[in-house]
Structure 1
Amino acid sequence: MAAELIVESVGAVRVLKLNRPDRLNALNEAVHEALAAAFAAIEADDSVRAALLTGEGRGFCAGADLNQSLGGGPRDLGASIDRHYNPLVRRMRALPKPIVAAVNGVAAGAGANLALAADIVLACESANFTQAFIRIGLIPDAGGTHFLPRAVGDARARGLAMLGETITARQAADWGLIWRCLPDEGFLAAALAVAADLASRPTQALAAMKAAFNAAGANGLDAQLDLERDLQRRMGRTPDFAEGVAAFREKRPANFTGAPPARD
């Protein structure tokens, strides 16, 4: 049986490709376990400086595999969320390296929210997004109730969740749900170029940005200002800051290494 997740390295980018195209890359236990292992490996490998998550075939991810994960009658869906979905979203958000989601087709339910857990979301023109939970009597999970109102506002978040309507990639970009909608032709190469660009940037600064953005929703202004100060103090001690200033003064491209601060 083919691996549920294809893992490849392209320079400093680790490419993760969901590989259940016959099921539109729907999530099952094996996929969750493979993703957990892949993100743990990315975090532990200093040679990896960015990740690209996409899907094989005509879909990005259709959400939970209902054929395998849901049966008839009441059941404790919270157990599956605790075991798989919440740890995955938390791991992606906490990963000290940027994640690009390249949505190459259908992104539905938890699959849509899996994409939104990435730092930068790109979608091809033929892709679409659906908060499909209402169709089977559920609420958005995998961070959906957190990501949606912050990205598109309360009114649109409620409409997307309660009506379960499908929106195009172009509409998702216009609403600010994703970063950019790109042509189908050459889409994966374009997404990989974005990930490679991120991999060439100051890794420590990108990690600090993720930490700051993660905290912003819960922090008041004073707390966020203090966090910015603390993170910036750490950034000022990184070799990449010294390199960036030197490159600016010497009018040359910077060569960022992602090395940690000389002292914390």
Structure 2
Amino acid sequence: MTIEVSKANGILTLEFNRIERKNAITSAMYQSLADAINAAQDDTDVRAILLAGKPEAFTAGNDLEDFMKTAATYTGAFGDRPVFQFMRALSGSAKPVVAAVSGLAIGIGTTLLMHCDLVYAADGTKFSVPFTQLGLCPEFGSSLLMPLAGGHARAAEKLMLGEPFTAQEAYDMGIVSKVLPAAEVLDHARAQAAKLVALPAASIRTTKRLMTSSRKAQLEAIIAEESKLFFEMLQGAEAKEAFSAFFEKRKPDFTKFA
């Protein structure tokens, strides 16, 4: 099993469980996540959702082998892929989403946190959004949400250079709610989810809706633009060089591209 799904005491827990691949996410895992979050919306026994990984890794992002295979063989619309289904489910969840993050949060592992409500990170967590290093562009609203949270200059440093950054930097940018010792993260996140469960569900849903409604149309528009450009760039020479270099375990050479 690669996504562990459990429900107890009003909390739906979705846990990445593929640690041998640093919890890299496959299409099947995205589909499991999307299905679970969508089902929770009409489940009155679920009042909060908890996303977690393992101490060694929240997630290293997309499984690139699976990603490339899916890109080559998927016959449906680009926006219908399981990753899109998951991100639509996550960002559209009426119920509060809490994340417990440790180890690594790479690529979409960082992006998805900007669509959660409460995010608790271990002090040693390494974050990164290395899309430019792959010849690609930001995804799923990160080009809007990261500058809104942390300001243009800090967001540009993260999104343009794609270099790793610390949990403290993520906190300073507003991506993370609190930084904790690694041994405390999951228990703290679960306790916070339990607090949400104990509060009036309608009040929590309404508060969340009010906090996100003003940016909803803008976010949907930027996600559509990002997705179009991401797909186009995925077919480009720079991305092909980046992925070839990754699989050949060498440094990519982008100097030959204008």
| Matched ranges for 1:55-94 at <5 A | 55-70=53-68, 79-94=77-92
| Matched ranges for 1:11-26 at <5 A | 11-26=9-24
| Matched ranges for 1:73-222 at <5 A | 79-217=77-215
**Max Rg structure:** 1
State TM-score, norm by structure 1.
0.75
1:187: how far off?
Answer: 1.8
Asked whether the 8 Å contact 1:52–1:195 carries over to 2, the reply is: yes
| Counterpart in the other structure of 1:35 | 33
Structure 2: which 5+ runs fail to align?
Answer: 219-258
> CA–CA distance in 1 between the matches of 2:81 and 2:136?
18
Greater CA deviation, 79-88 or 37-46?
79-88
1:186: how far off?
Answer: 2.4
Asked whether the 8 Å contact 1:49–1:97 carries over to 2, the reply is: yes
Residue type of the alignment partner of 1:65: D
Instruction: Give secondary structure in 1 for the equivalent of 2:44.
Output: coil
Instruction: Give secondary structure in 1 for the equivalent of 2:140.
Output: coil
> CA–CA distance in 2 between the matches of 1:154 and 1:187?
29
Asked whether the 8 Å contact 2:118–2:176 carries over to 1, the reply is: yes
1:85: how far off?
Answer: 2.9
| Matched ranges for 1:240-259 at <5 A | none
> CA–CA distance in 2 between the matches of 1:112 and 1:84?
18
State TM-score, norm by structure 2.
0.77
Give the share of equivalent positions with the same residue, in percent.
34
1:176: how far off?
Answer: 1.7
Structure 1: which 5+ runs fail to align?
Answer: 221-264
Offset from partner CA, 1:37-77 (integer Å, 9 cap, x none) = 11122112101100100113511111111122126x9999x
How many residues are matched?
216
